[in-house]
Amino acid sequence: MIPADVLHHVAAWSRTLEPRAFERARAGVQERTYPAGSEICAHGQPFDYWGGVIEGLIKLRTLSADGKEVTLAGVHAGGWFGEGSVLKGEPRRYQVVALRETRLALLDRASFLWLMEHSTAFNRFLVHQLNDRLGFFMAMVEHDRMLDTTGRVAQALAALLNPVLYPDVNHRLTITQEEVGQLAGVSRPIANRALKALDAAGILRVEYGEIDVLDPDRLRSYGHLS
């Protein structure tokens, strides 16, 4: 059983649960740590957990038969992923990879479904989560078709500041330029050039192993047509 303070830290949704529901969530969560570069879940494999990142950074991706990669999302501390697959009880349609050593909280499917049946607070959270997730993927299609590489890098970073998916996030992101490139689907040199352009525009400041977002609103709107 995960300690109450750890669950409160990693799962903002747990803070509003009814006492009985909170204890059920605690009992259903286990912690696992994955080394950098490891596969957390393979495409087409069952993975009967809803996952939350306690520490680290993961990437959800798909690979074509010829090895072409499409990044679906990055998830960092405080974010939860995979609710759709858990709801449907189906194998994952994407691969989950740890970009750095990552510690996960994993809520088993039985507990997830129990919370849906018995907790109004959990259902309220889940509706907001799914709605925002849908908006995220719709925006991702738009970004891929309409934005240049600097715009895609800006939107990849903006996604990590989403206040619904990451209620406790601040504007200082612990992330390397290589990781930014992996989330945006570009090479490290291209990510570096994009970050320099965003830095020069006064939108963010690049520091060693960190990015300080100075103007989140401009970051979110960067590259969009007026």
Q: What is the pLDDT of residues 154-202, one digit of tens each?
A: 999 999 999 888 988 889 999 999 999 999 989 999 999 999 999 999 9
pTM: 0.87
> Residues 108, 155: one domain?
no
How many helices and strands, by DSSP H and E, does the chain display? 9, 11
> Residues 26, 117: one domain?
yes
> Residues 11, 103: one domain?
yes
- Which three-class secondary structure state does DSSP give residue 118? helix
pLDDT band at 143 (very low <50, low <70, confident <90, very high): low
Distance of CA 146 to the CA centre of its chain: 23
pLDDT at 10 over 70: yes
Whether residue 21 is contained in a domain is answered as: yes
CA distances to 90, 104, 130, 172, 173 from 169, rounded to whole Å, are 30, 17, 19, 8, 9
Whether residue 178 is contained in a domain is answered as: yes
- Conformation bin of residue 56: beta by default, left when phi > 0, alpha when psi is -120 to 50: left
Counted domains in the chain: 2
Whether residue 83 is contained in a domain is answered as: yes
Whether residue 132 is contained in a domain is answered as: no
Q: What is the CATH number of the domain that holds 14?
A: 2.60.120.10
> Residues 173, 111: one domain?
no
On the 0-12 / 13-18 / 19+ scale of CB atoms within 10 A, 141 is: exposed
- Among residues of the chain, what percentage have pLDDT more than 90? 69
Q: DSSP code of 17?
A: S
> Residues 108, 153: one domain?
no
153: nearest Cα among 214, 68, 211, 207: 211
Whether residue 211 is contained in a domain is answered as: yes
Tokens encoding 135: 């908006």
> Residues 151, 117: one domain?
no
> Residues 11, 96: one domain?
yes
Distance CA 103, CA 10 (A): 11
- Residue 173 sits in which domain range? 147-221
Distance CA 159, CA 10 (A): 18
Q: What is the pLDDT of residue 26?
A: 96
Distance CA 204, CA 183 (A): 17
Q: What is the pLDDT of residue 64?
A: 77
Q: What is the CATH number of the domain that holds 155?
A: 1.10.10.10
Tokens encoding 132: 């925002």
Contacts of 133 (CB under 8 A, 6+ apart): 83, 84, 165
153: nearest Cα among 107, 106, 186, 199: 186
> Residues 28, 85: one domain?
yes
76: nearest Cα among 104, 48, 110: 104
pLDDT band at 225 (very low <50, low <70, confident <90, very high): very low
